[in-house]
């Protein structure tokens, strides 16, 4: 597992070279625009709603004693909830809407890595790729929320909260990497087989997703570069897993 996580992280080291060598930057403009607009909307909502949610949560405490402490805890939890949900919604929305643009990029990288040989890929249209992206990311959104909400509650407990924060990062990273890998997998596997493949290679998904999540903490530049670099990194490692005899 750790070896595969490190492999997913190391894959980012050659991404700029591949993108520039294949002239892929022009394919990323629409996904970058989608990424920036989505980030701006979610950030605005998070800024607007965090205090409101915190105040709403604190109202469940009917007593006067400890009310101030409960309010502070509620504000912290409300801010964390908005931040985490914002990250979750951001990545799934961007990945789903960018699928028709990222799949061709992934295919060009795969052809380059395999020496431009003829491949028997699944032929999919723009709308089919969009539907595939929506289906995968809606599934991942539901699963991620199922894990995230209880982890958020545990994060409020002293000491255990540190472990919960680490688990939260791993969960978010896994589903981010999942989405990036699927741009390649959609040409080779159906929906169910793709889910099974990522589960068998969850270390790679986590490694790719860890860097993806860290990029989002870099103002503006992170939102611009996160998708091009993470998709390129995920493609190189996914193709290597699918063709171990041809790609190192």
Structure tokens at 91: 């990545």
Distance, C-alpha 84 to centroid of its chain: 12
Low-confidence ranges of the chain (pLDDT < 50): 118, 120
Question: Burial level of 148, CB count in 10 A (0-12/13-18/19+)?
Answer: buried
Enumerate residues 6+ apart whose C-beta is below 8 A from 90.
38, 39, 42, 216
State the pTM of this model: 0.83
Phi-psi category of residue 103: left, alpha or beta, with phi > 0 → left and psi -120 to 50 → alpha: alpha
Q: Are 234 and 208 in contact (CB under 8 A)?
A: yes
Are 172 and 209 in contact, with CB atoms under 8 Å apart? yes
What pLDDT is recorded for position 236? Answer: 95
DSSP per residue over 221-241, as a string? HHHHHHHHHHHHHHHHHHHHH
Q: Check residue 232 and give its pLDDT.
A: 95
**Token pair of 65, please?**
């004693």
Query: What pLDDT does 196 receive?
Result: 94
Tokens linked to 60 = 């469940």
d(CA 91, CA 144): 11
pLDDT attached to residue 118: 43
Do the Cβ atoms of 106 and 183 come closer than 8 Å?
yes
Question: What is the structure's pLDDT at 17?
Answer: 92
């Amino acid at each position: 597992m750790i070896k595969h996580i490190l492999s997913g992280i190391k894959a980012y080291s050659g991404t700029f070279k591949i993108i520039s060598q294949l002239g892929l930057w022009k394919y990323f403009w629409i996904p970058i625009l989608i990424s920036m607009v989505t980030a701006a909307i979610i950030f605005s909502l998070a800024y607007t709603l965090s205090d409101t949610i915190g105040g709403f949560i604190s109202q469940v405490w009917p007593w006067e004693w400890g009310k101030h402490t409960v309010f502070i805890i509620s504000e912290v939890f409300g801010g964390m909830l908005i931040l985490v949900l914002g990250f979750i919604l951001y990545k799934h929305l961007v990945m789903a809407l960018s699928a028709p643009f990222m799949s061709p990029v992934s295919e060009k990288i795969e052809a380059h890595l395999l020496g431009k040989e003829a491949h028997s890929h699944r032929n999919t249209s723009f709308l089919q790729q969009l539907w595939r992206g929506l289906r995968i990311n809606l599934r991942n959104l539901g699963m991620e929320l199922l894990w995230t909400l209880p982890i958020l509650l545990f994060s409020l407990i002293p000491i255990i909260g540190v472990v919960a924060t680490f688990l939260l990062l791993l969960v978010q990273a896994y589903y981010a990497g999942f989405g990036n890998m699927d741009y390649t997998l959609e040409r080779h596997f159906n929906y169910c087989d793709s889910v099974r493949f990522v589960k068998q290679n969850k270390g790679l998904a986590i490694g790719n997703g860890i860097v993806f999540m860290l990029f989002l903490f870099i103002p503006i530049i992170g939102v611009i570069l996160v998708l091009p670099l993470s998709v390129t990194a995920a493609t190189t490692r996914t193709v290597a897993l699918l063709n171990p005899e041809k790609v190192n």
